[in-house]
Amino acid sequence: MQPVTVADIRKIVALADLPDEHLQWILDHSEYGEYEDGTQLKKTGDEADVMIMVLDGKVSFYFDHHGRLVYYFYYANDALTGGVGGLFPYSRMKVYPGCSFAVGHLRCLKLHKNYFHELEQLNPEFIQRLIGYMTERAKLVATTKTQHEKVSALGQLAAGIAHELNNPVAAINRFAHELNKRIARNYELTKNLLSGHLTPDHIQRIQAWAEKKESDSAPTIKRTALQRMDYEDELSDWLEDNGIAERELAETLAEAGFSTEELESIHTELGHAAFIQVLPWLENLVSSHNMLQDLCDASSRVSHLVDSIKSHVQMDRSNALQPTNIHQDIDNTLTVLGFKVREKNIEVEKKFCSNLPSVPAYVGELNQVWTNLIDNAIYALPTNGRLTIETSCDPKIVTVSIVDNGVGIPEEIRSRIFDPFFTTKKVGEGTGIGLDIVNRVVKLHNGEITVNSTPGRTEFVVSLPIVQQ
């Protein structure tokens, strides 16, 4: 171990202009340490007890997010960090929220917190300088945390969007593939149809029957699943009695609402030979139409999701204050989080006031508030739970209330839910947006957020001014 001199510690940026006697005092009251690259200096939960002054090397700090280490910052002997880290005078940190590691060959001095008061008496100006470094470190941590939270939120949003888009996109692919087979089959069926010597009047009648069934918005008779199977069996038996033994025909015709009486009427009008050729062609026509309608519904679902996502993330808006429709923003949020709602079979009740005005907002940031609060409520709810979203307004304030009937927030942690880094969720769950950021966004809008929670009812209330000062 090489000896450390006053000249050595004067090279530390934060200490460079201190008098020799003050540097000697620091040297006399500090413990010297050397660590190889990768050595863990502190772990999560260790007592925060020393200020570290770096002579050579670097210290990297990782916050512990539910057992997963996430890199946040470093300090070394440079102009940016001043060569000082660890616990600073006047810091309220009691234990380390993460782990620190040596980078390269680390040489440092460690001053125990028991000497902070003497150091303040010795050189108050130096203490103020350290507080400045501590403030900058806090800003860096807050900025880095926000970036991590936004990346996490983006990941959660992307996962939700992918989940939401998967079903309609898969349906589109399935319907397109099936329609391709139906169109190919139509050539053969049309050839068979023509061989039955049907007249143009017959074709017109078939078209009229098909269009009548297509125009019916819903079957006249509502059937249970068992009743529908019995009905299909009835049609299947009738078709078999008339020389057509294809179960698929019975299923399609039953779904379209054809009755045995109607089929008997068509059979009588066309004759048996033509009827046998017409029915498969009619089934193919009806099925193709149904698939086209399903294809339109699925593509409309995709379009609606894309519009909701664009509005939710504010792709087409600037970062300035702009009037926004909070009801539409909340609906878009529910669309984006819809898969989570359906996964738990959650009942969503919206009690929207009829005269809600537009609210000036940084819309992208405000949407993070609705996303986080609604996601938290979904997380807290059991299967078949209930989520209630209510809005109200007066001439000055718009209020949004988000209520869930989950187990509630325990009293012992209720006062901490808006603290940075505090969460009750497991790794990978939730939006990644902490309630501290929600609180900051609401305050950015000169608003207020409060929480009331008892077992069976948790309510977050966001109040926003209609006019920004």
Q: Is the pLDDT of residue 132 over 80?
A: yes
Q: What is the DSSP string of 44-76?
A: TT-B--EEEEEEEEEEEEEEEETTEEEEEEEEE
What does the pLDDT average to over 378-406? 93
- Looking at the fold, whether 109 and 203 belong to one and the same domain comes out as no
Q: Fill in the DSSP letter of residue 314.
A: T
Residue showing tokens 């878009």: 332
CA distances from 304 to 85, 110, 162, 340 (A): 51, 60, 14, 18
Of the candidates 107, 161, 116, the one whose C-alpha atom is nearest the C-alpha of residue 312 is 161
What does the pLDDT average to over 165-189? 85
Of the candidates 359, 372, 374, 369, the one whose C-alpha atom is nearest the C-alpha of residue 326 is 359
Selection from 145-154, 273-282, 350-359 with the highest mean pLDDT: 350-359
Q: What pLDDT digit, counting tens, does each position of 48-63 carry?
A: 999 999 999 999 999 8
pLDDT of residue 218: 45
Selection from 64-78, 144-158, 251-265, 388-402 with the highest mean pLDDT: 388-402
- Looking at the fold, whether 240 and 108 belong to one and the same domain comes out as no
- Looking at the fold, whether 420 and 329 belong to one and the same domain comes out as yes
Is 140 part of a structural domain of the chain?
no
pLDDT of residue 163: 74
Indicate which CATH number applies to the domain containing 445. Answer: 3.30.565.10
Determine how many CB atoms are found less than 10 A away from the CB of residue 107. 20
Helices vs strands, H then E, count in the chain: 14, 13
pLDDT of residue 153: 63
CA distances from 459 to 10, 80, 165, 260 (A): 56, 44, 31, 56
Q: What pLDDT digit, counting tens, does each position of 270-329 carry?
A: 788 878 888 888 888 888 888 888 888 888 878 877 776 766 665 445 567 889 999 999
Length reported for the chain: 469
Residue showing tokens 């077992």: 455
Last residue of a domain, one of 306, 335, 357: 306
Give dist(CA 52, CA 42) in Å, integer. Answer: 12
SS3 state of residue 430 = coil
Q: Is the pLDDT of residue 217 over 50?
A: no
- Looking at the fold, whether 117 and 189 belong to one and the same domain comes out as no
Q: Which domain holds residue 281?
A: 164-306
Q: Is the pLDDT of residue 338 over 70?
A: yes
- What is the chain's mean pLDDT, rounded? 84
Q: Is the pLDDT of residue 228 over 80?
A: no
pTM: 0.52
Indicate which CATH number applies to the domain containing 69. Answer: 2.60.120.10
Lowest mean pLDDT across 38-52, 95-109, 365-379, 410-424: 410-424
Q: How many domains does the chain have?
A: 3
- Looking at the fold, whether 20 and 116 belong to one and the same domain comes out as yes
